[in-house]
Chains A and B, each alone.
Chain A
Amino acid sequence: MKNKETLISRDLSKNQEYIETQYSHGVNMDFVSRPLTAATGRYHLFFYSTTVDTKQLSNHVISPILSSKKDVPLPALLAVPGIESLKDMKKVEDALSSGYVVIFQEGCREAYAAKIPDLKHRAIEKAENEKTVKGPKEAFTESLDTNISIIRKRLPSKDTIVENVEIGARPAMSVSLVYIRDLANPEVLDNIRKRLKSISVDTVCNIEILEQFIEERPLSLFPTMLYSERPDNASNYIAEGFIVLMMDNSSSCLIAPATIWSFFHSPEDRYLRVIFGNFSRFIRASAYLITLFVSAVYIAITNFHSQLIPIDLLLAIAASRERVPVPVFIEVLIMEFAFELIREAGIRIPSPLGPTIGIVGALILGQAAVQANIVSPIVVILVALSGLSSFTAANYSINHTLRISRFIFICASSLFGFMSLLGAIMIWTVYLVSIKSFGVSYMSPATPSTKSTHDTFFRILLKKERWRPVFLKPQDKDKQ
Chain B
Amino acid sequence: MVLVKRPLKTRELLTMAWFMVGLKSADTTPAMLAGHTKNAVWLVPIASLLFLLPSFLLLMHLLKKHKNYNLVELIQHLLGSKIGTLLCLLIFLSAFIVIVLDLRNYVEQINYLYFPNASTTFIFTIFLLVCFITASKGLESIGSISWMFMPFILFTIIFILWLGQSNAVWNRIFPIFGSGLGVILTEGWNKSSLFLEMFLLTIGYQAFREPKFFRRGIYLGSGLAFFFITFFYLTYAIVFDYNTIENVAFPYQETTEIVTLGHFFTNVSTFFMVGWLICSFLRFSVFLYLLVWTFGAIFKVKPFESYLLPFCFLILTLGSIAPSFVTNELSVREVVLEYISPIFLLFPFLLWVMSLLRGRRER
Task: Kindly specify which of A197-205, A446-454, A459-467 makes contact with the partner chain.
Answer: A446-454
Chain B residues 111-170 with CB under 8 Å of chain A are: 114-115, 118, 123, 126-127, 129-130, 133-134, 137-138, 140-145, 147-149
Contact residues of A: prevailing secondary structure = helix
Task: Kindly specify which of A62-70, A72-80, A412-420 makes contact with the partner chain.
Answer: A412-420
Chain B residues 257-313 with CB under 8 Å of chain A are: 264-271, 273-274, 277-278, 281-282, 285
Answer yes or no: A308 CB below 8 A from chain B CBs: yes
Determine how close the nearest CB of chain B comes to the CB of A262; give it in whole angstroms.
Answer: 16
- A426 with B144: CB separation less than 8 A: no
- B148 with A443: CB separation less than 8 A: yes
- A436 with B9: CB separation less than 8 A: no
Partner among A185, A426, A438, A448 whose Cβ is within 8 Å of the Cβ of B140: A448
Determine how close the nearest CB of chain B comes to the CB of A157; give it in whole angstroms.
Answer: 25
A301 to B, closest residue via Cβ: B270
Alpha-carbon gap, A431 to B141, bound state (A): 8
- CB-defined contacts of A449 to chain B, threshold 8 Å: 9, 11
- CB-defined contacts of B278 to chain A, threshold 8 Å: 422, 425-426
- CB-defined contacts of B270 to chain A, threshold 8 Å: 301, 305, 307-308, 418
Answer yes or no: A113 CB below 8 A from chain B CBs: no
Alpha-carbon gap, A444 to B278, bound state (A): 22
- CB-defined contacts of A447 to chain B, threshold 8 Å: 11-12, 143-144, 147-148
Q: A416-B118, A419-B123, A429-B145 are in contact. Are A472 and B281 (CB under 8 A)?
A: no
- A416 with B9: CB separation less than 8 A: no
Answer yes or no: A310 CB below 8 A from chain B CBs: yes
Partner among A304, A427, A448 whose Cβ is within 8 Å of the Cβ of B9: A448
Chain B interface residue count, Cβ-Cβ cutoff 8 angstroms: 46
- A441 with B134: CB separation less than 8 A: no
Answer yes or no: A398 CB below 8 A from chain B CBs: no
- A473 with B144: CB separation less than 8 A: no
A442 to B, closest residue via Cβ: B144
Beyond the given A418-B277, A450-B7, please list 14 additional residue pairs across the A-B interface where CB-CB is below 8 A.
Answer: A301-B270, A308-B269, A417-B114, A418-B273, A422-B277, A423-B129, A429-B145, A429-B148, A439-B1, A443-B148, A444-B4, A447-B147, A448-B9, A448-B144
- A419 with B4: CB separation less than 8 A: no
Alpha-carbon gap, A1 to B9, bound state (A): 58
Q: A419-B114, A433-B141, A448-B9 are in contact. Are A473 and B281 (CB under 8 A)?
A: no
Alpha-carbon gap, A447 to B129, bound state (A): 24
Question: What is the interface of chain A, defined by CB distance below 8 A to chain B?
Answer: 185, 187-188, 191, 301, 304-305, 307-308, 310-311, 415-420, 422-423, 425-427, 429-431, 433-434, 436, 438-441, 443-444, 446-450, 471-473
Partner among B115, B267, B268 whose Cβ is within 8 Å of the Cβ of A419: B115
Task: Jot down 13 A-B pairs with beta carbons below 8 A, ordered by A.
Answer: A185-B3, A305-B114, A308-B271, A311-B266, A419-B110, A419-B115, A419-B126, A419-B277, A420-B126, A422-B278, A434-B138, A447-B143, A448-B4
Partner among A307, A308, A430 whose Cβ is within 8 Å of the Cβ of B145: A430
- A426 with B130: CB separation less than 8 A: yes
